[in-house]
Structure 1
Amino acid sequence: MCSHYQSLKDAELLLKKFGVREKPASLGSYDMWPRRQGLFVRRPVEHDAGDEAVPEREAVVGRWGMIAPGTPPEKLAQADKISTFNAKSETAHKLWTFRLAWRRAQHCIIPADAIFEPDHRDETKAKFGTTKSVPTCFTRADGAPLGIAGLWDRYRDAAGQWQESYTMLTINADEDPLFRDYHQAGKEKRMVVILPEASYGEWLIAPAEASRDFLVPFPADRLVAEPQSQ
């Protein structure tokens, strides 16, 4: 699971790397934790309206942690406490929070400068003189931003206004040469889906039945993992 990442500081990268036509009014938070407002890229809701003025992609700010669109006002406080910032790709299609977005192929890309995962290995703890897990920063080796596969949806707040929310899709990492070394021993290893740039466009328009074709590990040799002092 990824519960901490850094979004983009440079709005120009949205245009250059993610194909967004216009800079958004806000980039959201940079240091991202669950329930904060973050940036994601999607096809506009009006993409099939036949209006040439509607761009192919747009950058939107929403809650990191999906809230199901059918959540009644009296259940919003409860839904806010649930950890829905990651969605297992194996089960997203049948879980209440994610299934409608999965069925509708409401794909998005979450731009990130870096993601963070905990290193629980004894040798790493000893190196930093701590008994706690050591946060590790993952970036692309070529310096480009990460494009993380996700799902988005909308829900109505207590005032009846539409709000955006999104989640990151994850896959098993037990055999991944890099991510298998992170998270606690004895527990399943997970990793977010980092998309290659060449597949950004295809992911955003892919139908639901093709979603899993994109949910594969990013090459480990194209990532850099750097432990962070606490």
Structure 2
Amino acid sequence: MSFQYENLAQLDLWTSFFKVTPLELPAERQMRPRRISGFIRAKAQPAPETAVPAAPVVVADAGAEVTAESGGKKAAPPVEREWVTAQWGLVPAWVKSASDARLRSLKLIEARNESVSTTQAFRDAWLAGQRCIIPIQAFYEDDLRAGGKPIPTRIARVDGEPMGVAGVWSRWQDPETGAELMSYAMLTINANSHALMRRYQHPGSEKRMPAILGEGTYDAWLTARQEKAREFMRAYPANWMLANPVENKKDKKPKGLFD
């Protein structure tokens, strides 16, 4: 799986595509482990101050009254989302020291969908429903098919739109200083049979790819019951993705005069 992804370049992309607005652009455009960017989660709703009356009358969208006894239902309101500044590289809440947090986070940038609920580092976040969306413009993989030096490859959507990757998040507090750190990890899925992603990573190894969510599933992913959450882990269609080798500046050096 990739150890680098690309942040969105303009604040209005967060607003228009993900319905959140960070106070400012993340400082890092090219994200690597333990750098600071952030994630999107469902905003916690305050507990009601008074009890809700039994069998209330619900006014449907069309204006007709529908009572509880009639079995009528009203569509759930959109989920209110919020942006949380955080580190890429999850730090479990039970970590005891800052030095341990630094070491662990480098290895915890991704969580396997198949084992996220049982792996010690991610289990608590998953069981607590601490799911998130990680906005990315592209991610990078090494093309090793030709042998020799790996060729970095940028993978993005064909139409140039951003992608929302499923993730889990954690809140850690330094026991010595009391400082709080928010962190996150991407969820990945098996890509052995994916028409595009099976080309990358080491030959003979299991292929993995980010769990890219469909735009229409964002709210459902953030609020789904735990037993339903894995239903969102599906391979993003290969024909919606575009892979381009990253140009090396050395390759552009003019030849002739200074050879």
TM over 0.5: yes
- The 2-side partners of 1:181 and 1:25 are apart by 36
Aligned to 2:161: 144
Aligned to 2:103: 81
Identity %: 37
Task: Give the superposition deviation at 1:47.
Answer: 2.9
Is the CA contact 1:88–1:171 (under 8 Å) kept in the aligned structure 2? yes
Matches within 5 A, 1:15-164: 15-20=15-20, 22-44=21-43, 46-50=44-48, 56-73=80-97, 76-82=98-104, 83-122=107-146, 131-157=148-174, 158-164=176-182
Task: Give the superposition deviation at 1:61.
Answer: 1.2
RMSD value over aligned CA atoms?
Answer: 1.7
Is the CA contact 1:134–1:229 (under 8 Å) kept in the aligned structure 2? no
Structure 2 counterpart SS, 1:105: coil
- The 2-side partners of 1:92 and 1:12 are apart by 32
- The 1-side partners of 2:101 and 2:239 are apart by 38
2:41 counterpart letter in structure 1: R
Matches within 5 A, 1:155-194: 155-157=172-174, 158-194=176-212
Matched, 1:203 2:229: no
1:211 counterpart letter in structure 2: A
Larger Rg computed on CA atoms: 2
1:177 counterpart letter in structure 2: A
**Structure 2: any 5+ residue segments left out of the alignment?**
50-78, 249-259
Is the CA contact 2:197–2:209 (under 8 Å) kept in the aligned structure 1? yes
Flag the 1:183–1:48 CA change in 2: closer, same or farther, 3 A: farther
**Structure 1: any 5+ residue segments left out of the alignment?**
126-130
Aligned residues: 216
1:47 counterpart letter in structure 2: Q
Task: Give the superposition deviation at 1:25.
Answer: 4.1
TM-score by length of 1: 0.89
